[in-house]
Amino acid sequence: MIEFLGEWYWWIKAGHVVSVIAWMAGLFYLPRLYVYHVEEVEAGSKTDLMFQTMERRLLRAIIGPASVATWVFGLCLVFTPGIVDWTMVWPWTKAASVLGMTWFQHWLGWRRKDFVAGSNRITGRQYRMMNEVPTLLMFVIVASVIVKF
């Protein structure tokens, strides 16, 4: 049943890499939009509505689909026979980091709802600090897959 995964391995892997790049681009950009939104935009202004539109579209048109594709392609790789050795540490650190990345995406979505409701309480500095989360998780993921510790 899953033999086709081996036959399509390189295409699945390519899809996974492209999806990850798109997902990461969005996760890097959205917190930066939030920094500008909180520091430069007056609540209720036309610019506020423009930022809300940009943030919503980034989440729904890029980050959301890219994360789903990343998960689908990634799970296909996990179920491809002979690819993942679950007795090693690296698949577990990668899995934990991907779950962390997914949590971060949802956290960004919750923060967008705060902007829409006019109830954002997070400062630009805090958004800048949170913008480092995907970088740290990306490092763990790449090190896990490449070094396979």
* pLDDT tens, position by position, 88-117: 999 999 999 999 999 999 999 999 999 999
Write down the pLDDT at residue 62: 98
84 φ/ψ angles, rounded to the nearest 5 degrees? -110, 130
For residue 149, pLDDT over 90 is answered with no
Q: What is the pTM of this model?
A: 0.93
Which residue shows structure tokens 């690819």? 83
Model confidence pLDDT, tens digit, residues 37-54: 999 999 999 999 999 999
What is the domain range of residue 17?
3-147
Q: CA of 28: how far to CAs of 24, 33, 35, 50, 133, in Å?
A: 6, 9, 12, 19, 9
The count of structural domains within the chain is 1
Helical (H) or strand (E) element with 104:
helix 90-117
For residue 138, pLDDT over 70 is answered with yes
On whether the CB atoms of residues 28 and 66 are closer than 8 A, the answer is: no
Task: Taking residues 59-69, report their average pLDDT.
Answer: 98
For residue 23, pLDDT over 70 is answered with yes
Helical (H) or strand (E) element with 18:
helix 9-40
Q: CA of 95: how far to CAs of 52, 75, 122, 146, in Å?
A: 31, 10, 29, 14
